[in-house]
């Protein structure tokens, strides 16, 4: 929604105007900046509740069937999950540097940092795709090709394990990581648009507000992963 305030001049080589466009409902630029920022924070509050509902469902099933959840979690690739965490934290660093560059009006740095951010986001999605493919190969996708792995089936005859809860973990895993990936795709699109606007000098002003608000969103998507990673991957790493 923050792109609402961006302004596109008619021709690509137009000189950047020094002042951002002031929308008619605002009194001054400071008010306009504040509204965009508060708007994004409120939107992120909505998003927290969105993931919160899922995490509540996860918590219920983890509480009522801890051993199945722990067993299922071992079928995830912790190494790739860890790699993805590093990638996403790195992208947050470069996003923070991009916001700083926008504030300093350093267009060259801004472009570079935006490009790095988007590229790291794409890397994350690539790694995630590899993981999904591995899970597909292991027949772990519920509703498509799910089969209880042989060693789990063997265990469940000796232990009181409910194989349906084992499958449930993967339902939640795909729903949560899928929703996160969707948010990341939106984030990459946003960052790319910001990079394009900067590159073609289509911002009126330096685009500081827009970059900052995009940054808030990006950091949020990153933080969601910081919660998902331990919740899904690190349940029972030792065994």
Three-state secondary structure call for residue 96: helix
Nearer residue to other proteins within complex by CB, 32 or 84? 32
CA–CA separation, 103 and 97 (whole Å) = 10
CA–CA separation, 194 and 186 (whole Å) = 12
Q: How far is the CB of 198 from other proteins (least distance, A)?
A: 22
Instruction: Lay out the site mask for other proteins across 128-167 (x = CB under 8 A, - = otherwise).
Output: --------------xxx-x---------------x-xx-x
CA–CA separation, 142 and 79 (whole Å) = 23
DSSP secondary structure code for residue 65 in this structure: -
Identified binder of other proteins from the candidate list 14, 38, 86, 159, rule CB under 8 A: 38
Does 63 interact with other proteins (rule: CB under 8 A)? Answer: no
Among positions 169-208, residues that touch other proteins (CB under 8 A) are 171, 175
- Helix H or strand E encompassing 109: helix 107-137
**Contact window for other proteins (CB under 8 A) among 59-67, 93-101, 207-215, 220-228:** 59-67
Q: Cβ of 70: how many Cβ atoms within 10 Å?
A: 15
User: CA torsion 237→235→94→9, rounded to 10°?
Assistant: 140
Task: Point out which residues bind other proteins (CB under 8 A).
Answer: 1, 4, 22-28, 31, 34-35, 38-39, 42-43, 45-47, 49-50, 52-54, 56-57, 60-61, 64, 142-144, 146, 162, 164-165, 167-168, 171, 175
């Amino acid at each position: 929604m923050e792109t609402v305030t961006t302004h596109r001049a008619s021709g690509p080589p137009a000189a950047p105007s020094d002042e951002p466009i002031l929308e008619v409902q605002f009194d001054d630029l400071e008010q306009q900046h504040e509204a965009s920022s508060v708007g994004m924070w409120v939107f992120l509050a909505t998003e927290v509740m969105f993931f919160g509902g899922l995490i509540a469902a996860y918590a219920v099933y983890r509480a009522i069937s801890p051993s199945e959840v722990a067993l299922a979690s071992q079928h995830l690739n912790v190494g790739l999950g860890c790699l993805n965490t590093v990638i996403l934290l790195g992208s947050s660093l470069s996003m923070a540097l991009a916001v700083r560059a926008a504030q300093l009006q350093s267009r060259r740095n801004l472009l570079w940092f935006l490009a790095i951010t988007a590229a790291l986001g794409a890397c994350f999605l690539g790694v995630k795709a590899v993981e999904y493919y591995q899970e597909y190969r292991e027949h772990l996708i519920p509703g498509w090709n799910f089969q209880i792995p042989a060693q789990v089936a063997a265990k469940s005859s000796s232990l009181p394990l409910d194989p349906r809860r084992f499958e449930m973990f993967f339902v939640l895993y795909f729903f949560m990581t899928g929703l996160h990936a969707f948010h990341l795709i939106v984030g990459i699109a946003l960052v790319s648009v910001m990079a394009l606007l900067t590159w073609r000098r289509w911002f009126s002003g330096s685009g500081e507000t827009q970059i900052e608000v995009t940054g808030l969103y990006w950091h949020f998507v990153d933080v969601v992963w910081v919660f998902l990673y331990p919740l899904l991957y690190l349940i029972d790493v030792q065994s």
